[in-house]
Structure 1
Amino acid sequence: MIRVIGGGVMGLAVAAELSGRGRAVTVIDRERQAGPHHCSWWAGGMLAPDCEGETAEEPVVRLGRAAADWWAGQGARVIRRGTLVLALDRDRAELARFARRVPGAPLEAEGIAALEPDLAGQARRGLHVAGEAHLDPRATLAGLRARLAAQGVVFETGEARPGPGDIDCRGLAARDALPDLRGVRGEMVVLRLRDLDITRPVRLLHPRHPLYIVPRGQGLYMLGATQIESEGRGPATARAVLELLSAAYALHPAFGAAEVLEIGADARPAFADNLPRIRRRGGVIHVNGLFRHGFLLAPAMARMVADRLCDGITPEVCDEDHG
């Protein structure tokens, strides 16, 4: 029996890979269900490796390209409509810079309106990154947990300190074993606006306040953007909420009439270079440092953990082994 400590996106992905290869798995988590104690609960759910490649290192792009198929194979509802990247006229230099780094189809106003009719007239230039996808993180976590339980994965509730043979997927809570982890705070807002129908993630570029808007269906939209070097996991700040709402209003004035359903924040675990690691210390395998790429990179990281345990293959992101 392999114990996985932590039931967020990384722990569930590891459990899925190991269970799929015939290993008996127990997942130990603080709560009985997926919820706000997981930083993946607050994620945008964008499976957008090419767009992330604007700033992320090559492994994020390469490893992330398999994520959409992996999640679909686990029964998640993956929506494959690409990503629409926009910039207001005053920020057109940001769009030109982005387009030099990210492969996509340039759009004029007519092309934007053809993809998203409700955004007609809101921007004159954009970029469509067609090969990307998105999912609903909360529905995906709950669905995968139920799927694994039905397959025989055991779930236990409580606090557990990882020991030899365990796989540590605790995120920022693993700083007791990984002192070089740091927290990167993200803040988000969930809105309901039934009068606007956007069908794919939209990234609005801005030199100071970039924004992404992810549709969740039935008039729900998740707004996110902030990235603050902080381990704080408390409520979102007023400044962050104002910036998110102001950027959304700039994209489309209809957002001014939206209902604010939820405001949240959490700290995502990251190493200094924002790349994930698999480490072995004292017989414990630590899988951590997904930064803001949880749903994008968890499948590849889980596969590498399973390759190591089942086939003895050393992961490419393994940076040390202490026995």
Structure 2
Amino acid sequence: MSQRSNPRVRVLGAGVFGLACAAELAARGAAVEVWDRAEALGLATCSYLAGGMLAPGCEAESAPPAVVAAAAGGADWWEAQGVQVIRRGSLVLAAPRDQGELPRFLRQSVGGQRVAGAALAALEPALAEKHTQGIFYPDEAHLDPRAALASLAEKLSVQWGRAGRTDDLAGVDLLIDARGIAARPEIATLRAVRGEMILLHCPEVTITRPIRLIHPRHPCYLVPRGGGAYMLGATMVESDDRKPVTVKAALDLLAALWAVHPGFAEAEILETAAHIRPAYPDNIPAVRRDGRVIRVNGAYRHGFLLAHHLARQVADLALQEAAQCA
């Protein structure tokens, strides 16, 4: 380690964890460079396909308490990076036959409140005709992952098309391994979780906040992107299959979309895509140190939700080591 308090750091991976770590380190005075094997920011990056929901209350329905606690302050952190964060809360709905699941979801989540009738209509008028009750989480937020990643990348030194290795620390003091599923050969406990999404354009339907639909077989979420665009996604498919979205998967997602609002039948499909997300056995992202290499991985479905927390952990570790060696 160099005798300096502002270490030279290389980050491998320009996904949400890598860019967030790089941004946090740079803000604290480190000299940071980012390498990524992709030729440019786009569909090759798993984070590019994310929902971008900063929704710890909803996640508490199935996520461990540690995830919910670590999510605190995320929206503020993203705003401090110059990213637009939309704070309109989240809304959980269920199809008529699944209404009995709403009380269970409310009990297992945090910060929600039942809404029905006129209260639901006031939140999302477009949904009032088809839905009579739901759960509203007023303190939640969302962002556009593609815009967020681009905003971070623009302010950092990113070398696209350069993969890098964890045993090559030439010219740097520390290496941050944020390669996601690509690091699986070195992290035996990582498993793959497939995520699928459809990007739609439907200006005929106006929804202003993320919608989560409770469904016994195909739970999904719908996130407004502005300008009549929506991202429709499924959260968990235990598979490392990298093939494109199948007809069956698309039909399942679109059927769930119909349950949200039948007006989406007229939507234009702009894009379909699938990617593999990394997860540890407990589904909790983690920072782990291995000599001069700090590994941050295991995003599962919590990448944007916990990126700020993990970035701070990584920066604390890196700068603590630098201070000790100064």
Alignment partner of 1:277 is 2:286:
yes
Whether 1:124 and 2:126 are equivalent positions in the alignment is no
Counterpart in the other structure of 2:232: 223
1:311 deviates by 2.8
> Aligned with 1:176: secondary structure?
coil
AA aligned to 1:8 is G
For residues 65 and 42 of structure 2, the distance between their equivalents in structure 1, rounded to whole angstroms, comes to: 31
The one-letter code of the counterpart of 2:165 is R
How many pairs were matched up?
309
**Does the alignment pair 1:64 with 2:64?**
no
Q: Counterpart in 1 of 2:13?
A: 6
Q: Which residue of 2 aligns with 1:107?
A: 115
Q: CA deviation at 1:75?
A: 0.5
TM-score when normalising by structure 2: 0.92
RMSD (Å) for aligned C-alpha atoms: 1.4
The AA in structure 1 aligned to 2:259 is A
Q: What CA distance in whole angstroms lies between the structure 2 residues aligned with 1:232 and 1:71?
A: 31
Query: What is the rounded CA distance, in whole Å, between the counterparts of 2:92 and 2:313 in structure 1?
Result: 32
Which aligned pairs between 1:234-253 and structure 2 lie closer than 5 A?
234-253=243-262
1:230 Cα deviation after fit: 1.2
Q: Deviations over 1:208-267 (max 9, x none)?
A: 111210000001011012421111222012111111100111111101111111111001
Name stretches of at least 5 consecutive residues in structure 2 with no aligned partner.
1-7
State the structure with bigger RCO (CA 8 A, min sep 6), 1 or 2. Answer: 2
Q: Alpha-carbon deviation of 1:65?
A: 2.1
**Deviation at 1:88?**
2.2
Cα 1:220–1:156 change in 2 (3 A) is closer
Corresponding letter in the other structure for 1:178:
I
Please name the residue that 1:261 is paired with: 270
Q: What letter matches 2:306 in structure 1?
A: L
Identity of aligned pairs, percent?
Answer: 53
Conservation of the 8 A alpha-carbon contact between 1:82 and 1:201: yes
Separation in 2, partners of 1:147, 1:120 = 43
- Residue of structure 2 in register with 1:135 after alignment: 143
Unaligned runs of 5+ in 1: 314-323
**SS of equivalent to 2:155:** helix
With normalisation by structure 1, the TM-score equals 0.92
Cα distance in structure 2, aligned partners of 1:135 and 1:277: 23
Compute the displacement of 1:282 (Å): 4.4
Answer whether contact 2:40 2:160 (CA < 8 A) is retained.
no
In 2, distance between residues paired with 1:88 and 1:228?
A: 21
Residues 89 and 124 in structure 1, CA contact (< 8 A), matched pair in contact too: no
Is the CA contact 2:60–2:108 (under 8 Å) kept in the aligned structure 1?
Answer: yes
User: Is the CA contact (8 Å cut-off) linking 1:185 and 1:227 kept in structure 2?
Assistant: yes
Per-residue CA deviation, residues 173-203 of structure 1 (Å, 9 max, x unaligned), is 0012101101000111111101111000011
Q: Does 1:50 align with 2:57?
A: yes
SS at match of 1:95: helix
* Residue 79 of structure 1 pairs with residue 86 of structure 2: yes
Q: Does 1:184 align with 2:162?
A: no
Q: What is the DSSP-based 3-state SS (H/G/I as helix, E as strand, rest coil) of the residue aligned with 1:308?
A: helix
In the TM superposition, residue 31 of structure 1 has moved relative to its aligned partner by 2.8
